[in-house]
Amino acid sequence: MQDFTSTRTADTPDELWVCEHPPVFTQGLAGLADHLLSPGDIPVVATNRGGQVTFHGPGQVVAYPLIDLQRAGYFVKEYVYRIEEAVIRTLDHFGVTGHRVSGAPGIYVRLDDPHSHTMLAQRPQKDAPKDPDFAGLGKIAALGIKVSRHCTYHGVALNVAMDLSPYQRINPCGYQGLQTVDLSTIGVSVSWQEASDVLSHKLATLLAP
C-alpha cells in the first residue's frame, strides 16, 4: 500500500484491495504498549495508520481503499463517513443494524438486539460527551486509515466468522473492556466470500466521486 501510494500519479486509477489476514495484531501510530495485554504467539506489527491496536485474522474481511481524495472531490471526514456507511449498508443487507458511536470510529451493534433500528443514545450528535460510551454494544467493524498526498490507504475490517479470543489479549482500539463481536456470534451465518462481495460493492459505490 505504501509503495502503491508513493508511486501513484494523478492518472493512477483508484483500487480496492480486499483480503483475509493470518492472525496478527496491528498497532497504529498512536498505539500505546499498555493496550497490548498478552499478545503471546500472535505477532505484533507496527503500522503508520491512525488509531491504537486491533486484531486481524481468518474470518474477517479486510478492505483497503486506495483513493485519490483530491480527484474524488471529498475530504477525509467525508471519506470516513462513507466507509462507515458502506459497512452499515453491508450489515443491513444481512439484517443487522450497524451504529456509529460518538467519538469512536468504527461500527457497533446492540448486543441485546442486533436487528433493532432504535437510535443509540451514544450516536454522534451535537454536545455529545467527549468520552465514548459502549454500554450494551459490541464492535463489529474497525476503521484505521492513513492519508498521504491526498491519497488513502489502510482501511476497514468487518468481523464475519472468526476466533474472537485474541481480542481478549488487547484493549481493542485502546478501550479497556470493549466487547468485539462478529456476524456469527450475533446469529448471522454468512460466508467470508459473500460478506466480502457485499462490502466491496458498497465501498465501490459509496467511495465513487
Q: Mind telling me the catalytic residues?
A: 173
The 3-state secondary structure of the chain, one letter per residue: CHHHHHHCCCCCCCEEEEECCCCEEEECCCCCHHHECCCCCCCEEECCCCCCEEEECCCEEEEEEECEHHHHCCCHHHHHHHHHHHHHHHHHHCCCCCEEECCEEEEEEECCCCCCCCCCCCCCCCCCCCCCCCCCEEEEEEEEEEEECCEEEEEEEEECCCCCHHHHHECHHHCCCCCECCCHHHCCCCCHHHHHHHHHHHHHHHCCC
